[in-house]
Amino acid sequence: MKRERNLLDTARVMFLLNLCILLFYTVVCLTTTQRVCASFGAYDFLLSIGQLPPRPWQMPLGALGFYTLLCVVSFGKYYLKTEAFWLRLLVCLGEIVLCLGVTVSLRFYYSGIALLVLADLVHYVRNSFYRTGFMAVLVFIFAFVRFDILTPGGIPFSAYLGYYSHTVQGYLSSLESVMVCLNILLFVLYMILLFTSERRENVRIQKLNRQLNEANTQLKEYAVELEHMTAMRERNRLAREIHDTLGHTLTGIIMGADAGLALFDAAPEEARKRVEVIAQSARDGLNDVRRSIKALRVDALEKHSLEEALEGLLENFRLTTGLEVEYAQQAGELRFAADEEDTLYRIVQEGLTNAVRHGHAKRASLALVRQGETLTVTLQDDGEGCAAPEAGFGLRHMQERLGMLGGSLTYGSSRQDSGYGGFMITASMPIREKERKS
């Protein structure tokens, strides 16, 4: 904050100094003209300059008028606080035009206004491309928009100074060069202040960035650890489940079967009862296994039917990512075996996620078609698509899941006539009739 105030103070001193310089030139030109006329030297003066001098009021009116506008724009833009690109660009261009206006009004005697505007714009413009552009333009103005380059035949400022005695001439030209040099020094000071403050800011940002990266790495490590822990816990739970249900049941079955074998000859009736018990406990065991597997199922499918779960999924995508999905269900009743439903749900979920994440799609279509015992899922989007997609983890996972159920997956660009120019996946899998009936 202190540094910011120092910058502002330097800028104010620069504005004040440049005002003094403008006044110096205008006052010298005006009073010299008046004095020349008052001392009957007008004809000789006209003869010495050999050309028509601009009307005397033009310089003060033009220079001070443009300078006042420049001050208004320069200080006013911080009150305006706009972030609109065009408005900011307009402010910068306006300042450059006003700077040129002041310089032209001063008949190119002084181009240091360009440094003032340069200091101001370097502080205002953050985009390095525009900043460099403005710097180039203003340095060009400072260096080349000069009296001796642009108007070599014009009336030099020295013609006005020439009216005075050598002593006064000396004082006036020293005053001129001191003020011009002071302006350059102030400009250098301003730039040093600006760049040191920017460098400090950069160092601070870099430090914060490093801290953020460290925190991010730590978070990733935690995530991996958490995954390990979850897998471990799940494995333990599975082991416990297998031990508690399948282990228990199998142990019972083995013991029952052994007893049945021993009784088989001595008491066949008893043995038959035992085998019935074994069959019952095997069924119970199977039920237990089913229940265990059910506990591992997709949450949505656990609570709802596949139909409802898919609709919920689409609605969820629409709400969270804005993806509008055209849903065409032509597969009749959606009741399949749990692993088939799981696979179907996962394929749709993964496909939609890919469309949003990689294709940045806004619209998609989902079609479920059943032909005999084959169910075909077609998902296409209007995203960026991909001419030669590499099968990532998601696609490979889908292929594996389908492979286990005897199905297949194809993918590539959408058909042009479909109205979706993005990516398309088609999954087909056979439906197990038996399971469906049960």
Residues that bind another protein (CB under 8 A): 33-34, 36-37, 40, 42-43, 45-47, 49-58
Which residue lies nearer to another protein by CB, 91 or 118? 91
CA of residue 41 relative to chain centroid, distance: 70
Torsion, Cα 191 196 197 202, to 10 degrees, reads 120
Report the nearest approach of another protein to the CB of residue 13 (Å): 28
Report the nearest approach of another protein to the CB of residue 86 (Å): 17
Which residue lies nearer to another protein by CB, 98 or 114? 98
Which residue lies nearer to another protein by CB, 29 or 310? 29
Task: Tell me how far CA of residue 62 lies from CA of 59, 67, 76, 346, 406, in angstroms.
Answer: 5, 8, 21, 75, 87
Nearest to 33 by CA among 161, 168, 191, 181: 161
Report the nearest approach of another protein to the CB of residue 88 (Å): 17
User: H/E element holding 325?
Assistant: strand 324-330
Phi/psi region, residue 385 (left: phi>0; alpha: psi -120 to 50; beta: rest), is left
d(CA 209, CA 6): 28
Report the nearest approach of another protein to the CB of residue 53 (Å): 6
Angle at 302 between CA 364 and CA 432, to 5 degrees: 75
Which residue lies nearer to another protein by CB, 29 or 366? 29
Torsion, Cα 57 59 61 64, to 10 degrees, reads -150
Which residue lies nearer to another protein by CB, 56 or 421? 56
- DSSP string covering 4-36, please? HHHHHHHHHHHHHHHHHHHHHHHHHHHHHHHHH
**Strand, coil or helix: what is 276?**
helix
Which residue lies nearer to another protein by CB, 56 or 247? 56
Which residue lies nearer to another protein by CB, 61 or 188? 61
- DSSP string covering 343-397, please? HHHHHHHHHHHHHHHTT--SEEEEEEEEETTEEEEEEEESS---SS----HHHHH
Report the nearest approach of another protein to the CB of residue 51 (Å): 5
Report the nearest approach of another protein to the CB of residue 22 (Å): 19
DSSP label at 324? E
Do 144 and 100 touch, CB atoms closer than 8 A? no
Report the nearest approach of another protein to the CB of residue 12 (Å): 23
d(CA 249, CA 269): 23
Report the nearest approach of another protein to the CB of residue 153 (Å): 11
Which residue lies nearer to another protein by CB, 58 or 413? 58
Nearest to 313 by CA among 339, 293, 341, 335: 341
Which residue lies nearer to another protein by CB, 35 or 146? 35
Report the nearest approach of another protein to the CB of residue 150 (Å): 17
Report the nearest approach of another protein to the CB of residue 42 (Å): 4
Do 364 and 419 touch, CB atoms closer than 8 A? no
Which residue lies nearer to another protein by CB, 40 or 129? 40
Which residue lies nearer to another protein by CB, 46 or 224? 46
Do 277 and 256 touch, CB atoms closer than 8 A? yes
Report the nearest approach of another protein to the CB of residue 52 (Å): 4
DSSP label at 417? G
